[in-house]
Structure 1
Amino acid sequence: MTNQLKTAALLAALSGLLIAISHLVIRGAGGLIIGLILAAVTNLFAWYQSDKIALGAYHASEISPQAAPGLYRMVERLSQRANLPMPRVYIVPSQNANAFATGRDPEHAAVAVTEGILDILPEEELEGVIAHELTHIANRDTLTQAVAATIAGAIAYLGQMLSYSLWFSGSRNDRGNPLGIIATIILAPLAATIIQLAISRTREFSADAGAARLTRNPRALAQALQRLESTAEQTPIRANPAFEPLLIINSLSGKFLGDLFSSHPATEDRIAALLKLEQQLITGY
């Protein structure tokens, strides 16, 4: 199954979960539809302001072409090659080596890199990282993640409302089996989080592949990921964990979490996919 089909299937599963829990809640309290709408509107507002929120969370500062000419020219060159509008360029004041893209569409996009990544990556590896972030913009992954976050947020809200109705409803018989409801309250938001993270992992593979094709140098990105992985635990980046899926690599080692609760695929799997793509580009197969 292609990454696009996987993403569509995961979004469909997330939507189905939302419909299921909505049925449990709304059946006995139609007024909660208003709460669902408010939750969606709140998340939609967050999407429209996603660039400002994410950049603010990392204390990023926009740079001019004069402030960092090498970085600016690199982003400009790769943007032209990818037929994208020139995004705004930011630097994050952190020695953690990382990067991310944000913005609701290519016309309102930004690319941010940390001071740490500028210090440790040679030019061709940094080019691979920038190409990865530009591919996220081209693929509108920020939109995909916003939709996933909106649905997951609505599920969490409904789960909370369902818990309130369980404890404060005058008649529990109208609500069904209390143990089943409690299981739904706990498991539905957990399942939504797992699906949301799975969508994030799928989009990372697509962005890696797009970057490799854009630069024609998959090995450079593979080497960059290996270097970033080895330094991730040394200097953690300080920000809200909710923004972890934006980063090119987990800012902290996620091995203890397991694959289900990781916002990124295993680095060794990403490297293996890139090296396989390198062979395909060389041989033409």
Structure 2
Amino acid sequence: MVRINQLKTLLLLMLLSGLIVLAGYLLVGNETGLYYGLAFAAFSSFGSWYYSDQAALSAFKAQPIAREEAPELYERIEKLCDRAELPNPKLYVLPSESPNAFATGRDPEHAAIALTQGIIDLLPPDELDAVIAHELTHVRNRDTLTQAVAGTLSGSLTYLGRILTIGALYVPIARIGRRGNNPLAILFLLVIGPFSAGLLRMAISRTREYAADEGAAEITGNPLALVRALTKLEEIGQKVPIHGNPAFAPLFIVNPLSKEGLMKLFLTHPPTEDRIERLKAIAKGTPSANTSKAMSPAA
């Protein structure tokens, strides 16, 4: 299942890159546009690979938390990392009462986990362990990099379309092209391309969330703890949403944005009810032992 999900994710990323290449071709009108598109996709991917962690943390004003400020939390994360066979990530806290969490970073050696103050105050130890294990699975599966690249490619296509289409309308930049200011090319750059990129990005996010839930159940041995956590996060999170850049919404364990009005267009997570049903199915074949005592720093 993990390998199938990885293949699906790779295919979706290739399709996203292909949309950028196609956008370059349609705008310029000849083969030169293909090279422009390839170069832009490569540049965007490299930037998201190297700066993904700082961009996400800065967007939500996350602050690093020292070990002496939260020794128990550090010990719990270290024990979970031992189980997941991962190096210890950096730990950040978001100054928000909305209960949520996300992981970021280009690889396990440069990973960071950010927890909102709301989730730290809300969840008991076993449920917080399950949330952290979910985020560690994202790190282990390199989902943090995948989501960063997908988000950057999707955003790049949108902004590329806006900027270059305006240029094509007022200062024709493709006089040598065969297509020039083709209205169909402009339609693709302004509407079809960004919409298609958004759908692909949502598909990537949904695939990775299911896999991370399974990883959390594996690491903690307690899938029902994540069921309880997701139930609380979904209920309270919609009452106290996080206001921030929708581009980073896929990073969070549950959708951090309001589901009202136009915000529905930015939903990138599978339905929480579906995730809960999958976890319950896993629990039927997994000993539902309460691991909170085993994971407790005092143990």
State which of 186, 189, 206 in structure 2 corresponds to 1:182: 186
Question: Residues 59, 102 of structure 1: CA spacing in aligned structure 2 closer, same or farther, 3 A cutoff?
Answer: same
Question: Is 2:227 the partner of 1:225?
Answer: no
Question: Residues 203, 242 of structure 1: CA spacing in aligned structure 2 closer, same or farther, 3 A cutoff?
Answer: same
Aligned to 1:197: 202
Alpha-carbon distance between aligned partners in 1 of 2:32 and 2:83, rounded to the nearest angstrom: 51
Question: Is 2:144 the partner of 1:142?
Answer: yes
Gaps of at least 5 residues in structure 2 are 289-299
SS of residue matched to 2:285: helix
Alpha-carbon distance between aligned partners in 2 of 1:166 and 1:30, rounded to the nearest angstrom: 19
Question: Residues 246, 130 of structure 1: CA spacing in aligned structure 2 closer, same or farther, 3 A cutoff?
Answer: same
Alpha-carbon distance between aligned partners in 2 of 1:257 and 1:277, rounded to the nearest angstrom: 34
Alpha-carbon distance between aligned partners in 2 of 1:255 and 1:49, rounded to the nearest angstrom: 31
Aligned to 1:209: 214
SS of residue matched to 1:86: coil
Percentage of pairs with the same residue: 49
Aligned to 2:291: none
Alpha-carbon distance between aligned partners in 1 of 2:37 and 2:13, rounded to the nearest angstrom: 21
CA displacement 1:218-253 (0-9 Å, x = unmatched): 110011000000101222223222211111111134
Aligned to 2:167: 164
SS of residue matched to 1:182: helix
Aligned to 1:62: 64
Aligned residue-pair number: 283
Question: Residues 278, 260 of structure 1: CA spacing in aligned structure 2 closer, same or farther, 3 A cutoff?
Answer: farther
Aligned to 2:241: 236
State which of 212, 229, 246 in structure 1 corresponds to 2:251: 246
Of 150-159 and 32-41, deviating more is 32-41
State which of 21, 24, 28 in structure 2 corresponds to 1:22: 24
Aligned to 2:113: 111
Across the aligned residues of Structure 1 and Structure 2, the Cα RMSD in angstroms comes to 2.8
SS of residue matched to 2:91: strand
The code of the aligned residue for 2:76 comes to M
Could you tell me how far 1:275 is from its partner in structure 2?
Answer: 0.7
The alignment's TM-score, normalised by the length of structure 1, stands at 0.88
2:103–2:112 contact (8 Å) kept in structure 1: yes
The alignment's TM-score, normalised by the length of structure 2, stands at 0.84
Gaps of at least 5 residues in structure 1 are none
2:89–2:110 contact (8 Å) kept in structure 1: yes
Question: Residues 23, 29 of structure 1: CA spacing in aligned structure 2 closer, same or farther, 3 A cutoff?
Answer: closer
Could you tell me how far 1:153 is from its partner in structure 2?
Answer: 3.7
State which of 251, 271, 274 in structure 2 corresponds to 1:266: 271
Aligned to 1:131: 133
